[in-house]
Structures are given as structure tokens and as C-alpha cells.
Copies of this chain bind each other. A is one copy, B any other.
């Protein structure tokens, strides 16, 4: 754990996270999904999509660039997504794409002979290129540059007679990480790869209905109760108000992604029975024990460094303070004036609280450092 000047979503950090969410057994399911995706927005800010199903109007979908709150709050759009069953996806970016395109936005949908299915995928498929080549060779037409589209094509070609079994078939061909929320006309389906790389949790709505979500914070926003995590290698099929569990994939030793604890997940989520906030605070306590430093103040790089800075302060007794102020109205594409402006990129989001730190010895705590030279440069 190092300290530097950067934001969790800056260019020197990983960008492979996505958020998935699904709900069944409630009226206006798409509105619940919109709220859930809003709570998961930190997992993907570039685009979002929702698919819903209603007996009268069939499957409907809407996919949009931008924040959930700017798109899926419009009455006119939400009315096009009726039904008691819906899933959604927020994403950061798609590997392999030469430019963002709306056709790369999930969920993906396919009409099979036994009815339609939609899937939303969080994870990285390591044999995606080989799968795509093979599927094209056999006559599948890809609509996106997203690796995740392989799954729906594998499902389309499966010889199984029902969709959950087609999904098992398809996922047995997929190597890599997947936490998936999927739906048919009657079923909400959740699956997690055998390594359990990405999180997926099950929730219950008191008035009836089940929820699948990447994180528990999205259960909170709709007042749903946390039931349990989907286990590595597990598939749950929710229909008619009951949850059926199976373990179609060979068991492996769990390899949960440590960056979920460090910065992907929201601090108010619970991962593996532990509060993300508390994990980060403990890392700060540990850091203070490992690397004690004499200083006047402990300051976080907001927002993801905050719990660790609090922990460092608690352990070391050095006062906690806000040495860097974050602009809540994020944005990174301002046109730089032609005059020389130093560190413009950083100043757009973060500003040093100079009156506070001038002449002080400051311990600056961030969540992690991915590329040290970048960090060193921006520190100057």
C-alpha cells in the first residue's frame, strides 16, 4: 500500500469492473433495476442497459450511454420497460472495442426456439478470441465487439431444450471470470464461476420478489433484505417465487478478486461476510503498524482512500484531516486553455486544501498504487 495522488477511476487503475442486477416478482421491475444500477454506478459509469419482460409486450430493452440517473429516470423511457421481471448492467468499457458503440452495451439478448433470453455479464473471458473465431466459422453473426456476446451465441447453438441448461452448456466452454444475471420469460438466473472472482448476492424484497446484485449496497437502496452470496460455481434459478440452486461447474479453490475489497466495491457493501469499509480501515491500521511515520496529519486521497486513512489515524493517534477536497461534479474532458496550467487533469477533481496543510507534515493515504511512475509524477 503506497500513497499517491490519484482517483480510483483514473487512467492508472484497472477498468474491468461492471455491475449486474436483476429482480423478479415485483411490478415495474425495471424501476427497481434502475435504482439498483444507480447504486452500482461506481462499477461502471460509461453506459447502462435494462431488459424487461411482460406477457403483453414481450421482451423490451433500452441501452444508453451515460449515468443511470440521467437516462433511466425518464417516465417516457421507463414506460417502455414493463413487466415483473427485469435485469440490467452498468459497464466501464469493453475490451477490444475501437470506439464505444451502443451495440456493445449489455444486456445481450437472443431469441431461441424455446423463447428469448437476456444476459448481463461481469467478468473477463480469457478464451474469448478463440470462441469468437469458432462461432463465426460456424455462422454466428456478432453484433458487438464485447467478449460477453460469446455466451449468448454459445447458448443459441446448445442442443439443450431449456434455457438454464443451455446456459450451463455455454458457460462450460467459457474460461475466465463470470458473475452473470440472466432472464427468460419466466426465470431470473444467477451464476458465478467456480473461482468466484466477481461478487454476486441474493436478496429478498419483503413484499415479495427476489433480487440478484453485484453488491449488497444495491439491495439497501431498494430496501431488500440480504439473503446470502451466490457461491462460487453455483447457479440459482428463480421462478414462481422459489429459488433452486445447483452447482453445474467443477469446484475449484476460490480466487476472489482482492481489488473488490480494495477499491471496486462500495464501502457500505458486505463482501464474504466482511464490511468493505472495515476491511479498508483495517488495512490502514495495518499500514500504521508496518510503516509508522512521524507527521502532523493523516489525509486520504478521496474517496476510496478515506477508510484506510481513518484506520491509520486511529492506530497512530495522528489527527485525521481533509487535505484534499474532491469536486463532486466529476468530469475529465474540459478543453485546456492555451495558457500554461499545471496539473489541470488532477485539479479538475482534486484540490489541495492549502490553508490546512501548509507547513505541515502530511501522511497521504490512497487505496493502492497501480503504476508508480505515474503516481510519482502527479505527486510533484
Q: Is the CB of B356 within 8 A of A278?
A: yes
Specify which of A26, A344, A348, A353 lies most central, judged by the most chain B CB atoms within 10 Å of its CB. A353
Complex Cα distance, B77 from A210, in Å, reads: 40
Which residues of A in the span 310-366 have a Cβ within 8 Å of any Cβ on B? 310, 313-314, 319-322, 325, 327-331, 333-344, 347-348, 351-356
Q: Which residues of B contact A113 (CB under 8 A)?
A: 133, 136-137
- A42: Cβ under 8 A from any B Cβ: yes
Q: Is the CB of A334 within 8 A of B140?
A: no
Q: Which residues of B contact A208 (CB under 8 A)?
A: 339
Complex Cα distance, B321 from A307, in Å, reads: 8
Q: Is the CB of B353 within 8 A of A26?
A: no
Complex Cα distance, B222 from A110, in Å, reads: 41
Q: Is the CB of A334 within 8 A of B278?
A: no
Specify which of A266, A338, A339, A353 lies most central, judged by the most chain B CB atoms within 10 Å of its CB. A339
CB distance from A22 to the nearest CB of B (A): 14
Which residues of A in the span 142-173 have a Cβ within 8 Å of any Cβ on B? 142-143, 152-153, 156-158
- Say which residue of B27, B322, B355 sits within 8 Å of A310 (CB atoms): B322
CB distance from A113 to the nearest CB of B (A): 5
Known: A41-B329, A307-B322, A331-B38. A338 touches B266 (CB 8 A): no
Known: A136-B112, A339-B209, A342-B223. A267 touches B27 (CB 8 A): no
Complex Cα distance, B329 from A41, in Å, reads: 7
Q: Which residues of B contact A42 (CB under 8 A)?
A: 328-329
- A268: Cβ under 8 A from any B Cβ: yes
Q: Is the CB of A69 within 8 A of B270?
A: no
Q: Which residue of B lies closest to A109 (CB)?
A: B141
Q: Which residue of B lies closest to A70 (CB)?
A: B331
Q: Is the CB of B351 within 8 A of A277?
A: no
Q: Which residues of B contact A136 (CB under 8 A)?
A: 111-113, 156
Binary contact track A210-232/B, C-beta < 8 Å → 1, others 0: 00000001001111000000000
- A139: Cβ under 8 A from any B Cβ: yes
Complex Cα distance, B3 from A217, in Å, reads: 24
- A369: Cβ under 8 A from any B Cβ: no
Q: Is the CB of A310 within 8 A of B306?
A: no
- Say which residue of B111, B223, B352 sits within 8 Å of A268 (CB atoms): B352
Known: A78-B335, A141-B111, A335-B78. A325 touches B31 (CB 8 A): no
Q: Which residues of B contact A72 (CB under 8 A)?
A: 334
- Say which residue of B111, B268, B322, B329 sits within 8 Å of A45 (CB atoms): B329
Q: Which residues of B contact A69 (CB under 8 A)?
A: 329-331, 333-334
Binary contact track A26-38/B, C-beta < 8 Å → 1, others 0: 1111011011001
Q: Is the CB of B220 within 8 A of A141?
A: no
Which residues of A in the span 97-150 have a Cβ within 8 Å of any Cβ on B? 110-113, 133, 136-143
Complex Cα distance, B32 from A217, in Å, reads: 38
CB distance from A160 to the nearest CB of B (A): 12
Known: A268-B325, A275-B356. A337 touches B222 (CB 8 A): yes
Complex Cα distance, B331 from A163, in Å, reads: 37
- A246: Cβ under 8 A from any B Cβ: no
Q: Which residue of B lies closest to A112 (CB)?
A: B136
Q: Which residues of B contact A378 (CB under 8 A)?
A: none
- A-B contacts, 15 of them at CB < 8 A, read A69-B330, A73-B335, A110-B141, A139-B157, A139-B158, A140-B141, A141-B152, A220-B351, A222-B341, A222-B347, A223-B344, A266-B325, A268-B353, A278-B355, A310-B322
